[in-house]
Every structure is written in C-alpha cells, then in structure tokens.
Amino acid sequence: MRVVLLVFFPLAALLAGCQTTSYQGNENSPYYVVPTGSRLTLNQELTISPEATSVYIQNGQVMPNVQVLHYYPFCKFELYHRSDSARAVAPDTITITKSVSEEWEGPNADAGPIRYAAAGAMTDISPGGYVPIRTYSTRMDLRAEKNADIFRLTCSRWGYPNMDTYPTIFEIRRTLGPIFSLTIPGAGG
C-alpha cells in the first residue's frame, strides 16, 4: 500500500502540472476566461483624449463612459501614461500576458451600495433597502511590440448576485466589434 502511495501521488502531481496549449473551452460560457497567450489585434487607429489613459468600447463603438450601458458587456482599453495632448494608438498585434476574472460589489471599485427607487418606494432586496449591484469583469494585461504604452483591456458588466455573470469570450468579441479581433490559441478564432 505504501509503495502505491509513493508512486501514485508524484505521478498525479506530474499529470496535474501538464496542460495543453490549445483552448478547450466553450466561448459562450462565463466560466472560461480568455487564455494567456491569446492575441488581440487592434484593427484601426484609436484616439486617446488629452489627459486620458483609456477609451470605452461597446457594440463595436468607442464612446464616453457616460454613454455606456453598463448592464450590457463593455470594455475599457487602457494605456500606462497620461498625456496633455491627444494620442493615436496605431493598429498593432497585442499579446494577452495575464487574464483574470474579478467580481466586486458596487458598480466600480470605489462605489458602495446603491439605493434605487422602484414605483415610488425603495426596493428592499437586502437589509437597509440596498440593491447589491456587482461588477463582473475579465481583466487582461497586455503587451504590444510596437507600442509599449498599451497596458490593459477590461471587459465588464454590472449585474445582480446570482443573476448575472462574467462576459463570455463570445460577448467580448461582439463588444469589441470591428475595432479589435480576439484570437484564442488553438480555437481558430
């Protein structure tokens, strides 16, 4: 019995450390995050406004944050540094170096609970009458050969606990529209 354990556990650890290099997930599932090593291709020039480091994208269009419908998937493309003048980000092929799913309560990291009025009365979903809004995000750290200032792409949606999920790979592609193309290793697309 002892010999079996001495052989089994190291073998199991070795096999657990092996992983395939091709994507095996369902692009419509919120549980499959964009794999590290995926490619994001910027297909057209993007303009970053003065004093800004980012642009918001929804339904294949760049728009100000105040116009984004946050309960639907949207993405925020970021640069590292601010500039006092507008900048153009040229088309480029970008590598996703890290990808994680994150969830927090409140529509953004600094927001606390939000109180909503429904038909003249406060909704009372949780104690104190607060609706627990959550942000479901997939954050992708980026590296570009042509433009070292390219930093991150975060795709999110606001939602309610146990009712909403992270944006799927399919939804991220649809959100980025013609501006970006996302290629998953081994997935053909």
Please count the CA atoms within 13 angstroms of the CA of 158 that sit on its side-chain side.
15
Residue 101 CA to residue 32 CA, distance in Å, equals 9
CA–CA distance, 132 with 122 (Å, rounded to integer): 13
The pLDDT of residue 58 is above 90: yes
> Region 120-146: what's the mean pLDDT?
74
Among 60-64, 82-86, 103-107, 154-158, which is the least confidently predicted range? 103-107
Collapsing DSSP to helix, strand or coil, 23 comes out as coil
Q: What is the pLDDT of residue 95?
A: 98
pLDDT given at position 12: 45
End-to-end CA distance of the chain: 48
Residue 126 is predicted with a pLDDT of 52
Q: Does position 114 have pLDDT exceeding 80, yes or no?
A: no
pLDDT of res. 8: 47
Q: What is the pLDDT of residue 50?
A: 97
CA–CA distance from 8 to each of 16, 18, 154, 183 (Å)? 12, 16, 41, 38
pTM of the predicted model as reported, rounded to 2 decimal places: 0.76
Going by C-beta distance under 8 Å and a sequence separation of 6 or more, which residues neighbour residue 112?
A: 106
**How does residue 152 score in pLDDT terms, banded at 50, 70 and 90?**
very high
Q: Report the percentage of the chain scoring pLDDT > 90.
A: 61
Higher pLDDT, 1 or 186: 186
Mean pLDDT along residues 34-60: 97
